[in-house]
Structure formats: structure tokens, C-alpha cells
């Protein structure tokens, strides 16, 4: 069971989410303003924050930045705003994922599972990750199936590792560039697209309609096992 801080100023939505999360076994703390969210986060030490961006007192982005000053708690943003720019700004400020309003309960629960799941580490001896018909073995850097093995270049490996370490999670473009090419790396979004297309051609059953290595237009990428 995890403790979730729900921050939402719409009382109906807050109530519905509280009931849903409680029914899924979560302990729930709530806040209807940004200031209350910050004090509840400090006092209640939640395992996860679900944060509405449009709050009456503080902007949700300010709440994210304040939280990131002292905690790495996963943050899922609820955004009623249509523009991808706000989502990118929220991710850059330190949010982990977003759900666009209106959203279904299943979608919110899936996002919560993804951000609270521990990232896969090769030393854990975890079983291979599946992509289509392929098994990805992180520990010895092999991709195999009953048809044989597929060879990946070092950059393709780094990109694939960044994906499979965060199953189901949204990975922002900037984060992915940093994970593959380093903080002062030479990567840009066009090289990212190039390598991603190569990976899709090697691994996706139908590279033109990817089902595992997904693009969230203008925002980032997501790996669905």
C-alpha cells in the first residue's frame, strides 16, 4: 500500500479520485490548494503526488519546483490544458508523468503503477524484457528470439536500456537525450528519432505502427512491454 497526496481544487473530481484510489488499496491525503499541498507533502511524506496544474493560489508548476527542492517523490500532473507546451514545462520542472483531463480511472491507475514501479536494474537478475517476439537481456546485452539474435549498436543499446528501465513511464525528450548522450552530449531530437526508428525496424513486429516503443508527440516517449 502506498500513500498518495491528491491535489485538486475541483471537489467532485477530488472526491471521485479519493474513492477510486482508496478502493485500490492506497492511503490518500488530499489538498485543494498549492500551499496546503506543500504543507501536506512535508507533514505526510507521501509515496506519490497527483497534482492538478490549475490551482487557486499557486501555479501547479510552482508546487512542482518547491517539492523538487527537497524531495524526489514521483509526481503525476493532471492537466486540463490542451497544449503540449505545459506538459513539457511540467516534465522539465520535475514531474514524472501527466494525465490529460478528462481521464478514465484505469488510465490514472496505470500511470500510478508505472511511476511507482521500481526501475528495472540489471543486477536484480530480472527475467528478460519482451518486445514483440524478442527477449531483451539487460545483463549480458543480448536481444534474442527463437529466430536468432539481433545486433544493436552501442547507441541503440543505450536508447533501448533507457526505455526498458522505465516500463510504462513517460520519458521526456530531454531526459532521454541525457540518458543516451549524457548531460553535455551531442544528441538532438533528430538523432533521437533516427535511432528510435532503427530500433523499431529491428524490434517492432510492424515498425510503421509501433506498439512498444511509442512516441507522445511533442512531449516524449513511452515503452509499453
Task: Report the interface residues with Ca ion, using CB under 5 A.
Answer: 9, 52, 54
Do 51 and 95 touch, CB atoms closer than 8 A? yes
| Strand locations in 117-190 (E) | 129-131, 134-137, 142-145, 148-150, 170-172
What is the residue whose three cell numbers read 525528450? 173
Min dist CB 53 to Ca ion, Å, is 7
| Nearer Cβ to Ca ion (111/166) | 111
Min dist CB 19 to Ca ion, Å, is 18
| Nearer Cβ to Ca ion (87/222) | 87
Residue sitting closest to Ca ion (CB): 54
DSSP secondary structure string, 81-118? ---HHHHHHHHHHT--EEEESS--HHHHHHHHHHHHSP
Min dist CB 60 to Ca ion, Å, is 8
Of 89, 98, 2, the closest CA to residue 52 belongs to 98
How many CB atoms are located within 10 Å of the residue 44 CB? 14
| Nearer Cβ to Ca ion (52/161) | 52
Pairing of strands 148-150, 142-145: antiparallel
Do 220 and 176 touch, CB atoms closer than 8 A? yes
| Nearer Cβ to Ca ion (52/179) | 52
Min dist CB 24 to Ca ion, Å, is 23
| Nearer Cβ to Ca ion (52/86) | 52
Min dist CB 8 to Ca ion, Å, is 6
Amino acid at each position: 500500500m502506498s500513500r498518495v497526496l491528491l491535489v485538486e481544487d475541483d471537489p467532485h473530481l477530488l472526491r471521485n479520485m479519493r474513492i477510486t484510489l482508496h478502493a485500490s488499496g492506497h492511503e490518500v491525503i488530499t489538498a485543494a490548494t498549492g500551499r496546503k499541498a506543500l504543507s501536506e507533502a512535508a507533514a505526510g511524506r507521501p509515496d506519490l503526488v497527483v497534482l492538478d496544474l490549475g490551482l487557486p493560489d499557486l501555479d501547479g508548476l510552482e508546487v512542482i519546483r518547491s517539492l523538487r527542492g527537497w524531495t524526489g517523490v514521483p509526481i503525476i500532473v493532471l492537466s486540463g490544458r490542451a497544449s503540449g507546451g505545459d506538459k513539457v514545462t511540467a516534465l522539465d520542472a520535475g514531474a514524472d508523468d501527466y494525465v490529460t483531463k478528462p481521464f478514465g480511472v484505469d488510465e490514472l491507475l496505470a500511470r500510478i503503477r508505472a511511476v511507482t514501479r521500481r526501475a528495472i536494474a540489471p543486477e536484480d537478475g530480472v527475467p528478460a524484457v519482451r518486445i514483440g517476439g524478442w527477449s531483451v537481456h539487460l545483463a549480458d546485452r543480448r536481444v534474442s528470439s527463437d529466430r536468432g539474435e539481433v545486433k544493436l549498436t552501442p547507441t541503440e543499446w543505450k536508447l533501448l536500456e533507457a526505455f526498458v528501465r522505465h516500463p510504462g513511464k513517460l520519458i521526456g525528450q530531454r531526459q532521454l537525450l541525457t540518458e543516451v548522450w549524457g548531460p553535455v552530449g551531442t544528441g538532438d531530437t533528430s538523432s533521437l528519432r533516427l535511432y528510435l526508428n532503427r530500433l523499431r525496424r529491428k524490434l517492432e513486429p510492424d515498425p510503421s505502427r509501433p506498439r512498444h516503443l511509442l512516441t507522445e508527440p511533442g512531449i516524449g516517449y513511452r515503452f509499453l512491454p
